[in-house]
Amino acid sequence: MTVDVSDSTVKSYQTARLKESAAPKSINEEVGFLLRILGEQGDFIRAEMRRRKTLKLKVGRQIAKAFTREETAAMLAHAKQMRSPAIFPALTLALNCGLRDAELRFLQWIA
């Protein structure tokens, strides 16, 4: 029941998810979703945790790394050997246009 949820429950959830090796950003999103579902009680818990500075877990700044020429060539060679004929053109497009995975997945081909 929602009555059983408190700031200590949320903190326990955060700790348990960290032990499962979940990413802090994912945990923050899950907690945010939970508190939105709870409505007014979630607002109260959010305010209390924000006051104690325990609401959000620290998220590391991960900087992207560019592929070397050798890594790019190896990926393209492997993509050519895949069963699906769409993988090689999709990878080529992603590498040449700098597309992220979600951008590539949601492309719509218009004939």
Average pLDDT over residues 46-60: 91
For residue 15, CA distances in Å to 28, 37, 55, 73, 111 come to 12, 21, 12, 41, 50
Residues 67-102: pLDDT tens digits? 899 999 999 999 999 998 888 998 999 999 988 888
CA 64 distance to own-chain centroid? 15
Q: Which residues make Cβ contacts (< 8 Å) with residue 70, sequence separation at least 6?
A: none
- Give backbone dihedrals phi and psi of 84, rounded to 5 degrees, phi first: -80, 125
Decide if pLDDT at 27 tops 80. Answer: yes
Share of the chain above pLDDT 90, in %: 55
Task: Tokens 């990413």: give the residue.
Answer: 23
